Amino acid sequence: MTRLFLIAICAVVVVVVGIVVWNTTTEPDAPAATAPERQHYDLEGGQEMRPRWGRNEGGADGTSGN
């Protein structure tokens, strides 16, 4: 009876040690992705906005002479 009890305790110890070793050797999960910092764009000054087409061509919506 004591021999069976000792074997059961040894088996439990081996399983627990195996689980501990498994958990310590595996790589940890990647940290949660965080949003990148918001970039600051300088909105002061800059270039005048003009249509892409030339003066005589007119736009796609029929507005010539912008």
Over 90: is that where the pLDDT of 65 sits?
A: no
In degrees, rounded to 5, the angle at the alpha carbon of residue 40 between the alpha carbons of residues 35 and 44 is 155
- Sorted by sequence, the CB contacts under 8 Å of residue 38 that are 6+ apart come out as none
Q: What is the pTM of this model?
A: 0.41
Q: Which residue has the higher pLDDT, 44 or 17?
A: 17
pLDDT, position 26: 78
Q: What is the pLDDT confidence band of residue 57, given thresholds at 50, 70 and 90?
A: low
Nearest-angstrom CA–CA distance, 20 and 24: 6
Over 60: is that where the pLDDT of 28 sits?
A: yes
